[in-house]
């Protein structure tokens, strides 16, 4: 237990936890958007299951450190480019994210599902709701694997003590569990923010795809673009709120 008194351990834990939370922002946005398509009574359950999958997948990968690091070894070469297991996971995950985000943008902008007349048969609604629920959980589980792989490889590069990594992962998922609902509710209240969040996921998908081909895009650029776009959208939301309040006063 003496290692608990080592300040370097606590510094490493704090830094890794913060990094895991930052890396988990993309995951939270993805989960929030998918969960928003579910009935209100199922959303909390889906969020908990989604983040539970994220934590389990990260812990399993942490316990398989040798396998994770082996994923960085080239499996084969294509057009002179070495392709590793990690590259394949990032490529498939990036393509999946590109497809899913683009599809969700189309649904949100061009083909909103709520515009169609719903079936009022309770049995049909229950069956459709169950299928949609497990479909969304499956999609969350798939993308969790991609984000977890990137997160775990980052953790291995920063800290060499497994207990610190495990504690940081559990702490970061705990923080994300509390943050997921407020973020999801905010995105639901502001459709323009939802489209902006989906555009962020397109950026992340492109970054993951580029990473698979050794095109390293610094995440700082992506996060800076996200922060700038969110700041502009926050000003737009405030301006719309002021106009609405002014109209209500005049009425």
Q: CB atoms < 10 A from the CB of 111, how many?
A: 10
Is residue 21 assigned to a domain? yes
Instruction: Answer yes or no: are the C-beta atoms of 91 and 209 closer than 8 Å.
Output: yes
| pLDDT on residue 217 | 77
| pLDDT on residue 17 | 78
Is residue 15 assigned to a domain? yes
Is residue 81 assigned to a domain? yes
Is residue 73 assigned to a domain? yes
Domain that residue 112 falls in: 2-217
Distances (CA, A) of 101 to 28, 33, 45, 61, 123: 14, 9, 22, 26, 30
What would the pLDDT profile of 156-211 be if each residue is shown by its tens digit?
656 667 787 788 888 888 888 887 778 777 777 777 777 887 788 788 788 878 88
Is the pLDDT at 115 greater than 60? The verdict is no
- What is the spatial distance between Cα 197 and Cα 33, in angstroms, rounded to a whole number? 8
Is the pLDDT at 118 greater than 60? The verdict is no
Is residue 118 assigned to a domain? yes
Look at the chain and report how many structural domains it folds into.
Answer: 1
- What is the spatial distance between Cα 92 and Cα 182, in angstroms, rounded to a whole number? 30
Q: Which helix (H) or strand (E) holds 75?
A: strand 74-78
Q: CB atoms < 10 A from the CB of 5, how many?
A: 8
**Ramachandran bin of 178, using left for φ above 0, alpha for ψ from -120 to 50, beta for the remaining angles:** alpha
Is residue 225 assigned to a domain? no
Is residue 91 assigned to a domain? yes
What would the pLDDT profile of 38-83 be if each residue is shown by its tens digit?
887 888 888 888 888 878 888 887 777 667 666 777 777 776 777 7
Is residue 239 assigned to a domain? no
Average pLDDT over residues 133-146: 80
């Amino acid at each position: 237990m003496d290692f608990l008194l080592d300040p370097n351990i606590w510094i490493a834990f704090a830094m890794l936890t913060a990094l895991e939370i930052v890396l988990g922002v993309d995951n939270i946005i993805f989960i929030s958007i998918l969960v928003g398509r579910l009935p209100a009574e199922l959303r909390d359950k889906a969020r908990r299951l989604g983040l539970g999958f994220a934590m389990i997948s990260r812990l399993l990968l942490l316990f398989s450190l040798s396998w994770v690091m082996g994923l960085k070894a080239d499996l084969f070469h294509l057009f002179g480019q070495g392709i590793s297991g990690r590259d394949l996971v990032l490529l498939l995950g990036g393509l999946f994210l590109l497809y899913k985000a683009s599809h969700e943008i189309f649904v949100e902008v061009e083909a909103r599902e709520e515009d169609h007349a719903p079936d009022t048969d309770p049995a049909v609604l229950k069956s459709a709701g169950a299928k949609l629920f497990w479909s969304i959980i499956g999609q969350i589980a798939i993308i969790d694997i991609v984000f977890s792989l990137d997160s775990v490889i980052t953790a291995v590069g920063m800290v060499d003590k497994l207990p610190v990594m495990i504690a940081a992962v559990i702490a970061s998922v705990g923080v994300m569990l509390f943050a997921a609902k407020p973020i999801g509710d905010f995105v639901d209240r502001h459709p323009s923010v939802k489209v902006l969040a989906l555009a962020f996921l397109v950026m992340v998908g492109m970054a993951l795809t580029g990473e698979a081909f050794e095109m390293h895009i610094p995440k700082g650029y992506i996060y800076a673009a996200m922060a700038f776009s969110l700041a502009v959208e926050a000003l737009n939301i405030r301006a719309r709120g002021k106009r609405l309040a002014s109209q209500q006063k005049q009425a």
